[in-house]
Amino acid sequence: MAFNINEFNIFFTAYQQRFVHFATTYVHDETIAEDIVIESMMYYWENRRRLDADTNVPAYVLTAIKHKCIDYLRHEQLHQASLDNISDLYEWDFSARIASLQNFEPYEIFTREIQDIVNQTLQNLPEQTRKIFKMSRDENKSHKEIAKIFNISTKGVEFHIYKAVNALRASLKDYLPTSLLFFYLI
């Protein structure tokens, strides 16, 4: 039974709310359900001439609504699965970043970096200045003992240590506060 436009309008008015209610039951969104119903009724109207005269129009439209709801739900299911995968990826990324930060020890990095700078700076010093500084710091020798070893005055030892400290202070100015340098190097 193919409707003419007036009969279709009566059919549309009589069934629209029932069809929307049916679709809303599955898609859980009344606006989406209304769109599905309108599309299904338009589908019927566009294909009405190809249907048999004894076609049950409400059942035909409801079948179209059913298939459109299934398509919508499959699309949403796929969309949700993609979001879940993205969410899992974000969760893994956050967990990795948190773990990385928890294991990060800035002091270790700066200690190694500072030690490398100290070693390089000392390596660039004249040999006698470097040896005098190391004897003072590493071997805890007094200025007097060092002066005796190098056959120079204690003022000469102080000069070499001062020279080494100034070179280290310049090299480490971006890493250590001046007060810490003062206590560490002098």
Is the per-residue pLDDT at 131 higher than 50? yes
Verify that 165 and 119 share a domain, yes or no. yes
Same domain? 75 vs 25: yes
Instruction: Check whether residue 71 and residue 135 sit in a common domain.
Output: no
Q: Quick check: 166 pLDDT over 50? A: yes
pTM: 0.52
Residue 94 domain boundaries = 5-104
Q: What's the confidence (pLDDT) of residue 127?
A: 92
Same domain, 135 and 72: no
Q: Please count the structural domains in the chain.
A: 2
- 94 and 138 fall within a common domain: no
Instruction: Count Cα atoms within 13 angstroms, Cβ side, for 133.
Output: 25
- Specify whether 56 is located in the same domain as 96: yes
172 and 180 in contact (C-beta within 8 Å)?
no
Based on the fold, state whether residues 14 and 100 are members of the same structural domain. Answer: yes
The mean pLDDT of 36-63, rounded to a whole number, is 91
* 96 and 118 belong to one structural domain: no
Mark residue 28 as left, alpha or beta (left: phi above 0; alpha: psi -120 to 50; beta: remaining): left
Helix axes 30-47, 57-103, angle to 10 degrees: 140
Q: At residue 109, does pLDDT exceed 70? A: no
- Domain end: 104, 132, 161, which one? 104
- C-alpha to C-alpha distance for 128 and 4, rounded to whole angstroms: 110
Residue 179: its pLDDT value, please?
Answer: 40
Token couple for 175: 């890493």
Residue scoring higher pLDDT (157 or 3): 157
Q: Mean per-residue pLDDT for 84-112?
A: 77
Q: For residue 146, what is the domain's CATH number?
A: 1.10.10.10
Looking at residue 174, what is its pLDDT?
72
SS3 category, 28: coil
Indicate the residue among 82, 104, 126 that finishes a domain. Answer: 104
Give the number of other CB atoms < 10 A from CB of residue 6.
8
Claim to verify: residue 9 and residue 84 sit in the same structural domain:
yes
Is the same domain home to 99 and 118?
no
* Token representation of residue 102: 């928890």
Could you give the CA distance from residue 23 to residue 36 in angstroms, rounded to a whole number?
8
Q: Which of 104, 123, 150 is the last residue of a domain?
A: 104
Does the pLDDT value for residue 85 go beyond 90?
A: no
**Do 66 and 118 lie in a common domain?**
no
| Domain co-membership, 13 together with 100 | yes
